[in-house]
Amino acid sequence: MARLVMKFGGTSVANVDRIRNVARHVKREIDSGYEVAVVVSAMSGKTNELVAWVNDASKLYDPREYDSIVASGEQVTSGLLALALNEIGVRARSWQGWQIPVRTDDAHGSARIQSIDPTRLAEGFARGEVAVIAGFQGVHEATGRITTLGRGGSDTSAVAVAAAISAERCDIYTDVDGVYTTDPRIVPKARRLDRIAFEEMLEMASLGAKVLQVRSVEVAMVHRVKTFVRSSFDDPLDPRPGTLICDEEDIVEQQVVTGIAFSRDEAQITLRRVADKPGVAASIFGPLAEANINVDMIIQVVSDDAMTTDLTFTVGNADFERAKAILEKNWADIGLQSLHGATDVVKVSAIGVGMRSHAGVAARAFRALADKGVNIRAITTSEIKFSVLIDAEYTELAVRTLHTLYGLDKP
Amino acid sequence: MARLVMKFGGTSVANVDRIRNVARHVKREIDSGYEVAVVVSAMSGKTNELVAWVNDASKLYDPREYDSIVASGEQVTSGLLALALNEIGVRARSWQGWQIPVRTDDAHGSARIQSIDPTRLAEGFARGEVAVIAGFQGVHEATGRITTLGRGGSDTSAVAVAAAISAERCDIYTDVDGVYTTDPRIVPKARRLDRIAFEEMLEMASLGAKVLQVRSVEVAMVHRVKTFVRSSFDDPLDPRPGTLICDEEDIVEQQVVTGIAFSRDEAQITLRRVADKPGVAASIFGPLAEANINVDMIIQVVSDDAMTTDLTFTVGNADFERAKAILEKNWADIGLQSLHGATDVVKVSAIGVGMRSHAGVAARAFRALADKGVNIRAITTSEIKFSVLIDAEYTELAVRTLHTLYGLDKP
């Protein structure tokens, strides 16, 4: 029998009424002949409550205890959904990460799934049971301790389960009805995409679109899991299909640009008149890497004195103060004259696999933005996307300009 | 090194501030040289919240899901206490039932502990860690599913852990400072007992005293675990010792009666003119036993027609309607004339190992109660206690009368 994974996030299971609604979605798929695994998040708000207690109990908390405490939220939801399914005549049982098991490494708080054993889940399917799986969690087998995958980890749980049980597809139910060309709150003309390529979705998620966790898209891409993003608030008996994330080849009418993403979670650091000598880049970026700070856009230009170099790069907003402190500590090593930082910057990106076969896609954007008076602080490009760093106040203008420029406004 | 088990109930861990207070109690014992296992309940109110969700999701719920959902409460507290201990410099880690493991049978919702493996806990002690154990829960190994021990089960967890790790003693911290001769809300002169024998405590708990779960006293008695009942609201640096539950031989000045208990959870059923033929008792009590209804006091007297018999017995209040329905279904089999029931009855009991060596203890009570105009509906006696069933409105009067009669008012 064909298998299906359905994933429901926190707002979709926020209370027992909503959980009953989820049960109706699951029943629809059972009635149409699937073996179903459901992956659930904690009831919305519960994870925050638990995290607040952890922070109250211990400022520098042991991440192993954090994981055990926070994973209890999904434990509750998985049990309640199993009960709600039983109540409408659908056989079901809950599964915690350690019961399956979902094996992870021991990076508590942001663990990576290493393998998911499908044996016991398959036994459950053979008994005619829906498997209701607590998302976001796994177990580190050597220590026997509960791990969690980090915020949004239930998406990754779902896709990884789909790969493990060879599911026909993985449906991610959320509070929007699919993936949009950009955030509809900024561009009312934004359209829902019927399909989007794995690579594009990966860039969209990495570059600020919040609809899916980046890691879940990576897993879907590697294992070629056909993944739908769709709405849990649709009528359970007649839902819309949502957006399919699939292979590039399965998308017939490919646009050059598929979507516009933006991220406010950026900070810019500029180092002026850095000595232009071998090893200087290592002395700057080495200590940042050691401190687990991701550096994104890097631009190096010859300084106005023509003898030194100016270096601009971006880090995540949350790492800004820490990055500055590290650089100031290594001031002498680096041999720089001044350090400037800014957090009122935004990264706007255009993504599309069509860029591979079309030249000059980014150049058109630079011109259009210049025409609107938007100053570009930094640029990065890759095969299927480009990003510009701009002043935060121009965010909406830039997003709308690019959305129109690449023909995404059209119905 | 000597080992100690400390157990803290829901009101003692009701919020993070109280959990910090618990941590200070634990630190005191660590500082005095013990290896410590702490057993915790869920934060007060949390279990009720979870149970309400379960009942909302499914009226006739699957008890396996109930257990998984409800056990999450203790999971949270165990993690938070481990963090609070770390925060004051005490090494600690949380343990869920399945991690130790605490093996139980599969009677979900009221499972019995079969064994507790001390190996991993001992390894933790060797590393200098306090073991913070989620109470109330275990695992049924054949199915790998979480079980719970029933309301108050954390007491049993604590005593069973104490037996498993050969602890010097088990301290049950609660919101009162020990075991009293009777409920101080009814008898202000009630005294805290310094010591009480296992057998007495077992009867007290069985007969209505709410300070400890009956099963926990059974386990303490079988394994001879020295158990203290004491207050978590005492100063963590200078707490009172509480009441020691111990062997009869360790109590020097033994009273005839140690305490007066009462239970409002009683219902009386009277069957009139039951055919006095062989097998009639089986036809009455067999079907009740099959339905898991416990029958307590039984009185059989010849009816006024001198040819049939009248039968009075008690069941738990919660079973009253069910018991009546079963008896009415078997009306013809039993051959009775009428059935009367009453729920406004109370069982008052006097307990004391001294009764073994003193005759006429109960007879004095019957006389004293009669003098006060209290009508006795039924009586049961055993070696170390007797109980009378009376009208509920006489509860306080009867308890005070017996408390005075047996010299328990004296300081």
Instruction: Give the pLDDT confidence score for residue B297 in this predicted structure.
Output: 87
Contacts of residue A184, Cβ cutoff 8 Å, sequence gap at least 6: A190
Determine the average pLDDT of the residues in B202-221: 92
Question: Where does the pLDDT of residue B330 fall: very low under 50, low under 70, confident under 90, or very high at 90 and above?
Answer: confident
In contact, A268 and A296? CB cutoff 8 Å: no
Residue of B nearest to A139 (CA): B99
A206 touches B at CB < 8 Å: no
Quickly state the pLDDT bin for A381 (edges 50, 70, 90): confident
H/E segment holding residue B270: strand B259-275
Q: Read off the pLDDT of residues B259-311 as tens digits, 9 standing for 90 and up.
A: 999 999 999 999 988 887 777 788 888 899 888 888 988 888 888 787 888 88
pLDDT in tens, B157-178: 999 999 999 999 999 999 889 9
CA distance B373 to B401: 11
Handedness of CA A115, A119, A124, A128 (dihedral sign): positive
CB-CB neighbours of A193 under 10 Å: 23
For residue A98, give how far its alpha carbon lies from the nearest alpha carbon of chain B (Å). 9
| pLDDT above 80 for A349 | yes
Residue B25: pLDDT band by 50, 70, 90 thresholds? very high
Q: Place B216 in a pLDDT band, splitting at 50, 70 and 90.
A: very high
Instruction: Count the Cβ atoms, other than its own, within 10 Å of residue B245.
Output: 31
Pairing of strands B145-148, B169-174: unpaired
Query: Distance, in angstroms, between B51 CA and closest chain A CA?
Result: 10
Q: What is the 3-state secondary structure (H, E, C) of B106-130?
A: CCCCCCCEEEECCHHHHHHHHCCCE
- For the cut 80, the answer to whether the pLDDT of residue B335 exceeds it is no
Q: B408 or A381: which carries more pLDDT confidence?
A: B408
Q: Which one-letter DSSP state was computed for residue A171?
A: E
Round to whole Å and give the CA distance between B122 and B167.
Answer: 11
Higher-scoring residue by pLDDT: B34, B274:
B34
| pLDDT for the residue numbered B311 | 87
Least CB–CB distance from A84: residue in B58, B75, B87: B58
Among the ranges given (A224-238, A299-313, A392-406, B124-138), the one the predictor scored with the smallest mean pLDDT: A299-313
Q: Which helix (H) or strand (E) holds B403?
A: helix B395-405
Q: Which residues make beta-bridge pairs with B315?
A: B267, B295
CA dihedral B208, B211, B215, B216 (to 10 degrees): -160
> What mean pLDDT value characterizes chain A?
93
pLDDT tens track for B366-386: 999 999 999 998 888 888 999
B36 and B168 Cβ atoms separated by less than 8 Å: no
Phi-psi region of A89 (alpha: psi -120 to 50; beta: other; left: phi over 0): left
CATH 3.30.420.40 fits B260-405, yes or no: no
Give pLDDT, residue B56.
96
| CATH, domain A3-250, list 1.10.3720.10, 3.30.43.10, 3.40.30.10, 3.40.1160.10 | 3.40.1160.10
Tens of pLDDT along B350-363? 999 989 888 889 99
pLDDT score for B347: 95
pLDDT score, position A297? 87
Alpha-carbon span B35 to B49, nearest angstrom? 34
Please state the rounded mean pLDDT for residues B115-134. 97
Of A53, A75, A94, the CB nearest to B80: A53
∠ at Cα A262 (A258, A266), nearest 5°? 145
According to DSSP H, which parts of B266-339 are helical? Answer: 280-290, 320-329, 331-334
Spell out which residues of chain A touch residue B71, defining contact as CB-CB under 8 Å.
Answer: 75
Is pLDDT at A209 greater than 90 in this prediction? no
Residues on chain A touching B82 (C-beta within 8 angstroms): 62, 65
Closest residue in chain A to residue B86, using alpha carbons only: A58
At B183, the pLDDT band (50, 70, 90 cuts) reads: very high
Give yes or no for a contact between A345 and A389, defined as CB atoms under 8 angstroms apart.
yes
Q: Cβ-count burial of B362 within 10 angstroms (0-12 exposed, 13-18 middle, 19+ buried)?
A: middle
Q: What is the pLDDT of residue B146?
A: 98
B positions 64-93 inside 8 Å of A (CB): 64-66, 68-69, 71-73, 75-76, 78-80, 82-84, 86-87, 93
Cα of first residue to Cα of last residue in chain B, in angstroms, is: 38
Token digits of residue B236: 């963590």
Q: What per-residue confidence (pLDDT) applies to A111?
A: 95
Statement: residue B395 has pLDDT above 80:
yes
Tens-place pLDDT, residues A148-203: 998 789 999 999 999 999 999 999 999 889 999 999 999 999 999 999 999 999 99
Of B181, B148, B151, B169, give the one whose Cα is nearest residue B220.
B169
Mean of pLDDT values over B68-81: 98
Among A230-234, A302-306, B109-113, B281-285, the least confident range: A302-306
Average pLDDT (B127-151) is: 96
CATH number attached to the domain at B3-251: 3.40.1160.10
In which band, very low, low, confident or very high, does the pLDDT at A95 lie, cut at 50, 70 and 90? very high
Q: Do B54 and A99 touch (CB under 8 A)?
A: no
For residue B69, give the nearest of A80, A86, A99 by CB distance: A80
In this structure, is the dihedral angle defined by the CA atoms of residues B117, B118, B121 and B126, taken in order, positive or negative? negative
Whether A87 contacts A23, CB under 8 Å = yes
Q: How many CB pairs under 8 A join A and B?
A: 105
Nearest CA in chain B to A143: B99
Cβ atoms of residues A272 and A371 within 8 Å: no
Q: Measured between beta carbons, which residues in chain B are less than 8 angstroms from residue A62?
A: 82-83, 86, 93
Q: Pick from B60, B65, B77, B148 the residue to mutate for testing the A interface (most A CBs within 10 Å).
A: B65
Residue range A24-58, pLDDT digits in tens: 999 999 999 999 999 999 999 999 999 999 999 99
User: How confident is the prediction for chain B on average, in pLDDT?
Assistant: 93
Task: Find out whether A344 and A391 touch, Cβ atoms under 8 Å.
Answer: yes
Q: What is the mean pLDDT of residues B72-91?
A: 98
Is residue A254 predicted with pLDDT exceeding 80?
A: no
ipTM metric: 0.85
Question: Where are chain A's structural domains?
Answer: 3-250, 260-405
Put simply, the answer to whether B75 touches A76 (Cβ < 8 Å) is: no
Nearest-CA distance B367 → chain A (Å): 55
Q: What pLDDT does A68 receive?
A: 97
Q: Give the DSSP letter string of B344-371.
A: EEEEEEEE-GGGGG-TTHHHHHHHHHHH
Strand partners, B268: B314, B342
